[in-house]
Structure 1
């Protein structure tokens, strides 16, 4: 039923809970897991060289993203699930949707962050956008 499962992560506990669900599904179906972390391009513009050198901020964000996908790969390895990792820079929901097409993903398993009210209206929801725009099923997981 599923041959490739995408698990987007931001390194949070919620994302890790979703990753565990994705690993379980991949194990059940003998699917390959894809762990993806997207560095939000808008985060790169928050700092100026007067604050902190841009290269240092970029390296810090990349290190955090790589740690997030490496943690999922380690959990997948413990369950004998094949896992590919990727880090991208861009608009998170767009990068996730691009990964779905590029990696021929059958299922996306991702966390919800539970934002409501004004915070949700202002920030929007990456998960909500992926659910609305994805051509494949998206399983949402609450921590």
Structure 2
């Protein structure tokens, strides 16, 4: 039923809980796991002071994203699940939707968290956007 499962992660405990569910599903169906972390391009301007080069901020965010995907890859390897990791820079929901199309994803498993308060009311959450716009089924997981 599922041959390719995508797990987006931001390195949080909630994303890790969703990843564990994704690994369980990949194990049950013999599916490949794709783990994606998106560095939000809108965050780059917020984190960059005039005296700090953008490249240094990008490198720091990329390092954190690499740690997040590798943590899940380690869990997948322990369960003998084939796992591919990717880090992208962009608008998170758009990058996730692009990955679904590019990789032929059968199922997306992601956490139910994200922005809250006024920011959520104005922008909506990444998970909500993926649920509304994805061609593949999306399973949302609470921590």
TM-score, normalised relative to structure 1: 0.95
CA–CA distance in 1 between the matches of 2:107 and 2:141? 13
CA–CA distance in 2 between the matches of 1:19 and 1:115? 19
CA–CA distance in 2 between the matches of 1:115 and 1:33? 26
Q: Tell me the SS of whatever aligns to 1:109.
A: strand
The change in CA–CA distance for 1:134 and 1:61 in structure 2 (over 3 A counts) is same
- The structural deviation recorded for 1:50 is 2.2
Indicate if the aligned counterparts of 2:114 and 2:125 stay in contact, CA closer than 8 A.
no
Task: Flag structure 2 segments of 5+ consecutive residues without an equivalent.
Answer: none
Q: Deviations over 1:28-47 (max 9, x none)?
A: 00000000000001011124
- The structural deviation recorded for 1:78 is 0.4
Question: Are 2:82 and 1:82 aligned?
Answer: yes
Task: Flag structure 1 segments of 5+ consecutive residues without an equivalent.
Answer: none
Indicate if the aligned counterparts of 2:8 and 2:35 stay in contact, CA closer than 8 A.
yes
Q: Across the two proteins, how many residue pairs are aligned to each other? A: 143
Alignment of 1:1-143 (within 5 A): 1-48=1-48, 50-113=50-113, 117-143=117-143
CA RMSD of aligned residues (A): 1.4
TM-score, normalised relative to structure 2: 0.95
- The structural deviation recorded for 1:55 is 1.3
Q: Deviations over 1:31-71 (max 9, x none)?
A: 00000000001011124452422111000000001110000
Q: Tell me the SS of whatever aligns to 2:98.
A: helix
